[in-house]
Amino acid sequence: MPELPTGPTAPPAPAAPPTPPIPLTELLAREGLGLRRIAGPAEAELLWVHTSEMADPYPYLLGGELLLSAGVLLTDPDTYVSRLVEAGAAALGFGVRPVHDTVPTELIAACERYGLPLIEVPPETPFTAIARAVWQLMAQARVRELRRVTRAQQALATAAARTDPVPAVLHQLAAQLEGRAALRTAEGEELHAAGRTPAPDVRAALARLSRVVAPVVRPAPASATDTLGTTHLAAYALGGGQGLVLTLATERREAGDHTIAGVAVVLLSLLAAPHQGADAAGRSAALVRLLLGADPAVVAPLLGGAERWTVVHARRGGGDPVDPLTAGALGAALGSALVDAGRGSAAVRVLVPGDDRITPQPGWTLGASAPAAITALDTADAQAARALGRAEATRTPLAVDAPVTLLAALVPQEAAEAHARALLAPLTEPLAETLRCWLSLHGSWDRTATALRVHRNTVRQRIGRCAVLLEADLDDMDVRTELWFALRRG
């Protein structure tokens, strides 16, 4: 059964890691003590040292101790050792002389039988010297663990500042803990993962564990742990009621791992939190009203109150589909919570309030419209799509669809639109869009093909068809200029 620590659903606060246990082999290797293992397994971990000459020290043991004794009241070695094992003692250190000249053979046999490491302490070695050596080893181990945790914290913080912060943090966490790190929904579905893919039974166990700490469960613990064979499992609920869970699968569990995981939980909670630029309830109400046919100009105040908006289309460098968390991080960087990632789509659309200038974002290719009124967002959306295509074709991080200015702006809008409709009437929408893109890219076949995401021969065929339908020489600059004017104002 998973361990279910009680506590709030907020992310665990990163704290100093506990002191890691000391391997018994390190104590045995300590020069000057003269300790020798004479029974029981070689592998054991020490949490502290305790000295007792009681016939039954069981009530005074916490577990994990190296118990030191000279056997003053030792009468029944079998019962004595069985009680130590029952109490969780890690090892027994037996001092020879003045009570016993040698370690009793019955005690050696009992330790072998119960699997308790038995250490012979020579007469010249005081118990206090052993205790001091253990404390020194523990202090050294604590310093090493604090340094490891500090390095991990710095690495996680650096990862959180990268262009893909959520995957980067998970990758760094998996590397630091030498295991599998995944961000899951409350239902156990993986959104992001890093590290070696675990076996199916481990994946199923992690999905179950994530449902244990999911915020939808009431009451829900902040974290839970479990083991499956030799694999250690852990799940942590992210803060903010986001319904997200961090799960870990490792082959070992060190003292500072919980602290490192706590740092990752805090960072992931911040990175995955929805942007607070506009009230979520207000946005939901605006969307409902739009679906019910409300005038966009009336609904606009619920979306943040801006009079003008910029539509941004974005695509990652590799063209891979973008998950909602990464898309949300882009929206936050652009100053908007109005983000459409589109399930399985490689393009992201962001609706940015105001007239502020859009800036390039590392790792993204952006196309932005000119600022537009809320009632003209469909036109702005088309502009942003064209700008993204131009940015990809020219290999620039950002392209902005500039508004109509200068001489073109001198012609009244109605007259310009009437002329454009008449001139472009023979062209279908795909042909007109191809012509617009081709002219904007100075007649480059390859760049136009890249922008439209079609083959260059398709571009040639479409442009040739345009020339036939328009009965125009597209190599003539005057013709190109007039067509460009019409395409911009149509």
Tell me, yes or no, whether 18 lies in a domain.
Answer: no
Is residue 258 one of the residues assigned to a domain? Answer: yes
- Residue 1 pLDDT: 38
- Work out the pLDDT band at 393, boundaries 50, 70, 90: confident
Q: Sorting pLDDT into bands at 50, 70 and 90, what band is 53?
A: very high
Same domain, 268 and 180: yes
- Length of the chain equals 490
Name which of 19-23, 357-361, 413-417 the model is least confident about: 413-417
Average pLDDT over residues 302-317: 81
Of 326, 241, 221, whose CA–CA distance to 7 is shortest? 221
pLDDT at 12: 44
- Identify the pLDDT of residue 72: 93
Same domain assignment for residues 174 and 257: yes
pLDDT at 467: 86
Which residues 6+ apart lie within 8 Å of 139 measured at CB?
A: none
Q: What is the mean pLDDT of residues 69-75?
A: 93
**Looking at residue 238, what is its pLDDT?**
83
By C-alpha distance, which of 488, 431, 487 is closest to 460?
A: 431
User: Percent of the chain having pLDDT more than 70?
Assistant: 85
Half-sphere exposure (CA, 13 Å, Cβ side) for 17? Answer: 28
Same-domain status, 396 and 291: yes
Please say which residue of 272, 303, 322 terminates a domain.
272
Q: Which of 113-117, 232-236, 449-453 has the lowest mean pLDDT?
A: 449-453
Q: According to the model, what pLDDT value does residue 269 have? A: 82
In a domain, 16, yes or no: no
Residue 98 lies in a domain: yes
Last residue of a domain, one of 378, 402, 426: 402
Is residue 219 reached through a cis peptide bond, with omega within 30 degrees of 0 on the bond before it?
yes
Q: Is residue 350 in some structural domain?
A: yes
Q: What are phi and psi of 458, to 5 degrees?
A: -65, -40
pLDDT: which is higher, 427 or 241: 427
Give mean pLDDT, residues 38-42.
93
Instruction: Give me 131's structure tokens.
Output: 């205790």
> Over 70: is that where the pLDDT of 415 sits?
no
* Cα–Cα distance measured from residue 200 to residue 80, given in angstroms and rounded to the nearest whole number: 44
d(CA 401, CA 209): 49
Amino acid, res. 62:
L
Number of domains in the chain: 4
Lowest mean pLDDT among 55-64, 172-181, 449-458: 449-458
Residues 60 and 43 in one domain: yes
Domain range for 56: 36-124
The pLDDT confidence band at residue 102, using thresholds 50, 70 and 90, is very high
The average pLDDT across 180-188 equals 85
Which pLDDT belongs to residue 378? 83
Let me know the angle formed at the C-alpha of 342 by 332 and 437, rounded to the nearest 5 degrees: 90
Binning pLDDT at 50, 70 and 90, where does residue 244 land? confident
Pairwise pLDDT comparison (420 vs 404), residue with the higher score: 420
387 and 424 part of one domain = no
* Highest averaged pLDDT of the listed ranges 15-29, 53-67, 158-172, 317-331: 53-67
Which of the given ranges, 20-24, 49-53, 221-225, has the highest pLDDT on average? 49-53
Token readout for 443 is 């007649």
Task: For the chain, give the mean pLDDT.
Answer: 82
